[in-house]
Amino acid sequence: MESLLGTSPAVFFGITGILTGFCAFMTGQAIATTWRPYWQVVVYCALLGAAARFLIYGLFQGVLLSVSGYLIGSALLVLIGSFAFLATRAHKMVSQYPWLYRRRGLFTWRPLHGDADDQP
């Protein structure tokens, strides 16, 4: 597992999952709040993955250029950022346009009028 992650699993999940995971969550929320496109979540989370690799290298003597560790970490950060982006975007759609949309689930919304559910 250490050869795959480039460091111990505890350090990997501590730095990547908790520290930069929180940053990825806040990044996803900020991008959704400012109505920017989704692809920016992917770009910023990839940069956060590089920052996580550097912190692992600098603080815990991990492998800096671990490609598999970077890809796994960045995929985890993109997943966290995407969760925050989609949940925040759905919340903003129904809170800013309550006369048009209603919440359908955690990540989706639907039109308020014209649904089969709206008819008696």
How far apart are the C-alpha atoms of 28 and 44, rounded to whole Å? 9
Q: Angle at CA 79, nearest 5°, toward 57 and 13?
A: 35
Instruction: Spell out the domain ranges in the chain.
Output: 2-93
Q: What is the mean pLDDT of residues 13-29?
A: 96
Q: What is the mean pLDDT of residues 18-39?
A: 96
Q: Is-above-0.85 flag for pTM?
A: yes
**pLDDT confidence of residue 113:** 78
Q: Which pLDDT tens digit goes with each residue over 62-87? A: 898 899 999 999 999 999 999 999 99
pLDDT at 7 over 60: yes
Q: Which residues contact 4 (CB under 8 A, 6 or more apart)?
A: 68, 69, 72
